[in-house]
Amino acid sequence: MSRVLYLDPFGGAAGDMLLGALLDLGADRHAIDRALASLGLAGWSLSAERTRHQGFAGTRATVTVSEAGQPARRLADVERLLGGAPLAEPVRVRARAAFGRLFEAEAAAHGVAPAETHLHELAAIDAVIDIVGVCAAVTALGVDRVACGPVPVGSGSVETAHGLLPVPAPAVAELLRGVPLAAHAAAGEMTTPTGAVLLTTLADAFGAMPAGRLLGVGVGLGVRRHAGLPNLLRAFLLEADQTEPTAGRPATLVEATLDDVSGETLGRVLELLRERGALDAWCLPGTGRKGRPVVELRAVCEPPAAAAVIDALLDEGVTLGTRVIECVRPEVERRIVEVATRYGTIPVKLGGRNGRVVSVKPEHDACAAAAEQHRVSLAAVTQAALAAAPAIGAAFDPEG
């Protein structure tokens, strides 16, 4: 059996709401406090109160920050903070991944490099406490995987350190790429950047609640008041059969059966599909009506790219119609590391899952180029790269 955490951000998502929901669910407060105290930060406090909000009972977590002496923080500052604290490794890995995504989103929104952007003074320490606290709570609950429901973003505008911004704020929109959004939208900001980065970092699937035996429910209360819509987030802890199919990110599979296309045309169509957004595209041989040989063409893409992939296929005139299948795409985390070998530096692709390296693959083209340069076999370069790379089972750090 596995423990699944399902997050339902029906009334919005913010770091304090997530932390409140997990505390309400039964996450060990002492474990969370120990993780936060290990950061060595001053000028803040965390309180958690069981109370009511718009007719619902739950826990409101509140981070209070003193205004004096709080510096702005860049990604390098946060990296040093997390790297120097004696955090449990799963907490450190999740928190570093969350901050990496947050700074990348902020940088993309403002058109600068991640190293150039920063979190403003009070927002910086608030985000550190929320993110590390939530990661510590998830670890304390012994969760094997996390899933999440559709995310509401709200409407209108929000006041920020950069002035008045439309909802969703640019960083939130960047973080929620590929994530299903809820149809309901209250006036104002329903999902904050910290809420968005925690949902997208923790969850490996978005959609309906998975099957399983319900162990507990936690309710995290926000502080906003939306007309007719409670500002709360629910967390469900389920015990699921491990034989249940693993969920993944939403994906779209586009299929077509072709019976009168040349090999050259097929090659061109496959290239075009990848250019238009297909994550991958391929062909399989088959048999059609009256025993005719056919080719089954398939392309998998993220849902937002499906229309462009379908248009590319139909515009080329190779088929009169396509089949579209909505599915999920389970994935491992990926990272490229460069390793030093006697044949030079070789990039190696690492696959990570649950904080551990599960696959190690030297990049073929780099190995082939090094083999030719040094007049050795491809196998010799590949083995040297594998020997210098992290081993399967080692700790996986998605941010490096």
Closest CA to 57 of 286, 270, 218: 218
Question: Is pLDDT larger for residue 337 or for residue 68?
Answer: 337
pLDDT digits (tens, 9 = 90+) for 42-79: 888 999 999 998 888 999 999 988 766 567 788 888 88
The percent of residues in the chain predicted with pLDDT above 90, rounded, is 52
Question: Is pLDDT larger for residue 71 or for residue 230?
Answer: 230
Instruction: List where CATH 3.30.70.1380 sits in the chain.
Output: 249-329
pLDDT digits (tens, 9 = 90+) for 160-190: 666 677 888 888 999 998 899 988 878 888 9
Closest CA to 235 of 206, 209, 207, 197: 209
pLDDT bin (cut points 50, 70, 90) of residue 147 is very high
31 neighbors 136 (Cβ within 8 angstroms): yes
Instruction: List where CATH 3.10.20.300 sits in the chain.
Output: 333-388
pLDDT digits (tens, 9 = 90+) for 88-120: 999 999 999 999 889 888 888 778 777 777 776
Stated pTM of the model:
0.62
pLDDT value at position 156?
A: 83
Query: Looking at beta carbons, which pairs linking 168-174 to residues 24 or more positions away fall under 8 Å?
Result: 169/109, 169/193, 170/108, 170/109, 170/110, 171/102, 171/105, 171/106, 171/108, 171/109, 171/196, 172/105, 172/196, 173/109, 174/104, 174/105, 174/108, 174/109
pLDDT bin (cut points 50, 70, 90) of residue 121 is very low
pLDDT digits (tens, 9 = 90+) for 247-305: 567 889 999 998 888 889 999 999 999 999 999 999 999 887 777 888 999 999 988 88
Class of domain 249-329: alpha beta
Element (H, E) at 236: strand 232-240
Question: Is pLDDT larger for residue 92 or for residue 246?
Answer: 92
pLDDT digits (tens, 9 = 90+) for 312-332: 899 888 888 899 998 888 888
CATH of 333-388, one of 3.40.50.740, 3.30.70.2740, 1.20.1250.20, 3.10.20.300: 3.10.20.300
Q: Cis omega before residue 168 (within 30°)?
A: yes
